[in-house]
Amino acid sequence: MEFEDRYRQAQGPKYDCLLFDLDDTLYPLSSGISKECGKNIKGWDLDYYMVEKLGIEKDKIVELSNLLYKNYGTTMAGLRAIGYDFDYDEYHSYVHGRLPYDNLKPDPQLRSLLLTLPLRKIVSIFTNADKVHAAKALIKLGLEDCFQGIICFETLNPTHKNTVSDDEDDIEFLGSAVTTTDVPSSPEIFDIIGHFAEPKPGPSATLLPKTPIVCKPQESAIELALKIAKINPQRTLFFDDSVRNIQAGKCVGLHTVLVGTSQRPKGADYALESIHNIKQALPELWETDMKSEVSYSGQVTVETPVTA
């Protein structure tokens, strides 16, 4: 018993890293940001974009978007999978361009919780959103200096530009030496609506084209994020509002916290009604009586404030 006690002390705290989703995790669903984002995806602006730029029939947009989100995690990833090619930044501008960011208010309580964590813990953001959206949201919440790194869309999908901003006034994001190879667009668009309307028997019934976009809830996306940040999943606590993302994180070895409900589904180690309940649910994160050795190598970039 004495040996086991000494061994536990030598191990240090259970978690060295906290990895947070952004939207509906660091701020509540009630903010309306996600609702407005959904409206944008199914709204006139993106309808116009999908009709005029991608040639999609207007009366199929809602059904198509729902199928793509369900099967690929994001509509954007699904569009690329079935054969559409487009500029990622332009697409994001339609989705996030006119969100009600003023609905997000400074959160001094969450800021205090994050800043009082022991200094040896790595605290990072992992979001499917683009860096402009992440920067705007964090600034509105007053949390822009609370994280040691941000893994965003551009980090996992480095296309045509460096994932680390060259603007000294912009947030510095975790860069990646890993490059992704886009699948060449086919002149034929895969009819995913027809695919599910007339299901075929056998293995072909679930055979869908793969997407070149890397994003949650793909397990490969989470594994890449961990590789980029050089963090050990077994010593990392992952917070997300999506059950799918939590379950994918669990499959790659992360400890998981579902945010936004007190009901703990399969794949979640903890469930929090609000991110503000983190200290009550996990008081050990603030324990400093044992020294920890951070289990990753290399440097994690630190962001600086941005005006966006």
- CA–CA dist 236, 123 (Å, integer): 10
- pLDDT tens digits in sequence order for the chain, 308 residues long: 444 444 444 456 789 999 999 999 999 999 989 888 776 665 555 677 888 889 999 899 889 989 999 999 999 999 999 999 999 999 888 888 778 999 999 999 999 999 999 977 889 999 999 999 999 999 999 999 999 999 999 999 987 443 333 333 333 444 443 434 444 444 589 999 999 998 776 655 568 999 999 999 999 999 999 999 999 999 999 999 999 999 999 999 999 999 999 999 999 999 999 999 999 999 999 986 444 443 333 333 333 333 33
Q: Is the pTM of this model over 0.85?
A: no
Q: For residue 184, is it within any domain?
A: no
- Report phi then psi at 65, rounded to 5: -60, -40
- CA–CA dist 230, 228 (Å, integer): 5
Q: Which of 277, 279, 273 is nearest to 261 (CA)?
A: 273
DSSP structure string for 239-257: EES-HHHHHHHHHTT-EEE
What is the residue whose two structure tokens read 């289990």? Answer: 295
Q: For residue 170, is it within any domain?
A: no
Joined tokens for residue 183 = 């699948």
Number of domains into which the chain is organized:
1
pLDDT number for residue 265: 97
Residue 68 neighbours by CB distance under 10 Å: 23
pLDDT number for residue 115: 95
- Read off the CATH number of the domain in which 250 is found: 3.40.50.1000
pLDDT number for residue 52: 85
Q: For residue 178, is it within any domain?
A: no
Nearest 10 degrees: Cα torsion 139, 69, 278, 220: -100
- CA–CA dist 214, 117 (Å, integer): 30
Q: For residue 302, is it within any domain?
A: no
pLDDT number for residue 30: 92
pLDDT number for residue 202: 63
Q: For residue 305, is it within any domain?
A: no
Residues spanned by the domain of 61: 17-157+190-199+207-285
Q: For residue 2, is it within any domain?
A: no
Q: For residue 49, is it within any domain?
A: yes
Q: For residue 147, is it within any domain?
A: yes
